[in-house]
Amino acid sequence: MSTSPKSDSVKLSPMIRRRTAKDISARKGGEPIVSLTAYITPMAARLDEYCDFILVGDSVGMVLYGMDSTLGVTLDMMITHGRAVMRGAKRALVVIDMPFGSYEESKEVAFHNAARLLSETGAGAVKLEGGKEMAETVKFLVDRGIPVLGHVGLMPQSVNTYGGYGAHGRTEEEWQPIIDDAKAIAEAGAFATVLEGVAEPLAQAVTEAVSNPIIGIGASNKCDGQILVTEDMLGLFSFNPKFVKRYAEIAVDINEAVANYAKDVRSREFPAEEHTYKMKK
């Protein structure tokens, strides 16, 4: 089956310049940075006009493949989806998650895999999870020309260690290690850092403590920007995390559309005459 290009597809001037990691870094304390996730070309094309950067997240494992966590996502999967997103995004910086197991072994292994992600997709940066323990790796990558987006606070790739996805920093005793992690990643050269699942006062403290932009997800509007999983904010799934505001209910629209399609097929109302090819005269 195939579909023809839509007449309302995004048309860009050849003079449009893609945003870079340096552009995002320069936004510290300025206009809030907008980001969402994408894994496929048409979604990336729709987000491109509005997002400063698009993350090809390892959340693809849960969103598209029905996995229970992100841990089963592979480097090859990230490369495939990274290529797809690059075909759709022309303005936004595209960042690709380094999946679990692709960077923890050593900084040399991390460089090899990060280089693959960028060279085989054309994306502009990679993201990896971890605080002080990953600072040396972040510096190693940045020193060799690979822009890095950090990720501290709740880190989904460490779900088995945490024992779940609960928020962090809800007591002041938990604050300092997260602040120290964010500082270490910023000092190592990360152009920005995602801060996930922390109490609002801690989010503000982290944002004020570091020199690079902090991108919040479940971390309040005190951060320098925000990111969400696109399918969450569009209402594709019945479960809605506390930190997600739904801007649409596409699951309802999909259900209604499919139900109407099934009804029309069974009643032979579809395909109608206008959907049918005629003989040539």
Regarding predicted confidence, which is higher, 155 or 168? 155
Residue 146 belongs to a domain: yes
63: domain range?
21-249
Annotation-wise, does 129 bind a ligand?
A: yes
* Predicted pLDDT at 7: 40
Question: Domain with 204 in it: what CATH number?
Answer: 3.20.20.60
Q: How many domains does the chain have?
A: 1
Residue 91 belongs to a domain: yes
Residue 14 belongs to a domain: no
Count Cα atoms within 13 angstroms, Cβ side, for 263. Answer: 6
Residue 120 belongs to a domain: yes
* Predicted pLDDT at 25: 98
* pTM of structure: 0.91
Residue 151 belongs to a domain: yes
**pLDDT band at 267, cuts 50/70/90?**
very high
Give 2-49 pLDDT, tens digit per residue: 444 444 444 445 567 999 999 999 999 999 999 999 999 999 999 999
Q: Please state, in angstroms and rounded to a whole number, the distance separating the CA atoms of residues 257 and 268.
A: 16
Give 170-188 pLDDT, tens digit per residue: 788 899 999 999 999 999 9
Spatial CB neighbours of 72, under 8 Å, sequence gap ≥ 6? 61, 65
* pLDDT score of 167 more than 80: no
* Residues 98 and 60: beta-carbon distance below 8 Å: no
Residue 148 belongs to a domain: yes
Annotation-wise, does 136 bind a ligand?
A: no
Annotation-wise, does 224 bind a ligand?
A: no
Active site residues: 196
* Residues 217 and 228: beta-carbon distance below 8 Å: yes
Residue 260 belongs to a domain: no
Give 209-248 pLDDT, tens digit per residue: 999 999 999 999 999 999 999 999 999 999 998 999 999 9
Residue 13 belongs to a domain: no
